[in-house]
Amino acid sequence: MAERPYIVGNWKMNGTRAMLSEVRAIDRSSQRLMKVEVALAPPYTLIHAVHREVEQIGVGAQDCHPGVDGANTGDISASMVADAGAKFVILGHSERRENHNESSELIRAKITAAVEAGMRVILCCGESEATRDAGDAEAFVTKQIRESLPDVLDNPTDQLTVAYEPIWAIGTGRTPTLDDIAAMHSSIHSTLVDLYGEDHAAQVRILYGGSVKPDNAKELLAVDGVGGALVGGASLAAESFLGIVLAA
Ligand code: PEP
């Protein structure tokens, strides 16, 4: 595991102000666990409120628009989420790629917008079950990463985290074998070496995401090359999320 594991909760389309009590509990406990970096990505509507509640944990957004401003009804720019208190943004989640037809080209433009707004990026990647069964998972993920990442980042070490999230493991209770996770993380690392060089790639954390729970977190986080976890369902309650943080 990386020296300081990174555990990030993705609340997806869940959460109202009533859930700020969970945020306070997560933040208070995280203050005692300095060796783990903890962050939450609530929906847009809660970013500012969460930002005001927390002292220890990071706050991020689940998406942003690639443009700076203008006539885009219902969209939110990178500088707007940064202004609300977000320090990072999750981009390329499979639910955005599928439900909103987001291409890797669009995700690349969003990454550029996010770093220009001074935010860190968590780039998600991952294959479908059919792609894995066909033996094409690593090639598919390599292509996704190459197409989604800008050729140049000022400082990939600070600006980038990658989250490997096999689509078939998200919210299903299923996970890849530990060997398959290790192989994919090693392949992603090699792609980052090709793109940004050995020194930067060594510092970019690669998270695993997909049905991480308190009872499987320890073994998943111990896999070679796994630098933390991106957690969906189990991040919605302080008790289960902190169970994962404690396992890290
Ligand atoms: C996710 O969608 O980012 C995720 C990892 O979800 P879950 O933990 O619920 O599988």
Q: Assign residue 15 the CATH number of its domain.
A: 3.20.20.70
Q: Per-residue pLDDT tens for 3-21?
A: 799 999 999 999 999 999 9
pLDDT at 16: 96
pLDDT at 40 over 50: yes
Q: Any binding-site annotation on 233? A: yes
Find the catalytic residue in 37, 102, 165, 200.
165
Calculate mean pLDDT across residues 46-62. Answer: 97
**Does the residue 1 lie in any domain?**
no
pLDDT at 189: 98
Q: In sequence order, what are the residues at sequence separation of 6 or more whose Cβ sits closer than 8 angstroms to the Cβ of residue 89?
A: 41, 60, 61, 62, 63, 64, 78, 81, 110, 114, 119, 120, 121, 122
Q: Per-residue pLDDT tens for 81-137?
A: 999 999 999 999 999 999 999 999 999 999 999 999 999 999 999 999 999 999 999
Which atom of ligand 1 approaches the CA of 233 most closely?
9
- Domain housing 59: 6-247
**Does the residue 194 lie in any domain?**
yes
Active site residue 127: no
Helices (H) and strands (E) in the chain, counts: 12, 8
pLDDT at 2 over 70: no
Q: What's the total number of domains in the chain?
A: 1
Calculate mean pLDDT across residues 225-246. Answer: 97
Measured at the CA of 195, the angle between CA 189 and CA 200, to 5 degrees, comes to: 65
**Does the residue 225 lie in any domain?**
yes
Give the model's confidence band at 152: pLDDT under 50 very low, under 70 low, under 90 confident, else very high: confident
Residue 229 near ligand 1, beta carbon < 6 Å: no
Is the Cα dihedral 157, 162, 95, 138 positive or negative?
positive
**Does the residue 161 lie in any domain?**
yes
Q: Identify the residue whose C-alpha is closest to ligand 1 atom 8.
A: 232
pLDDT at 1 over 60: no
- Rounded to the nearest angstrom, the distance between the alpha carbon of 129 and the centre of ligand 1 is 15
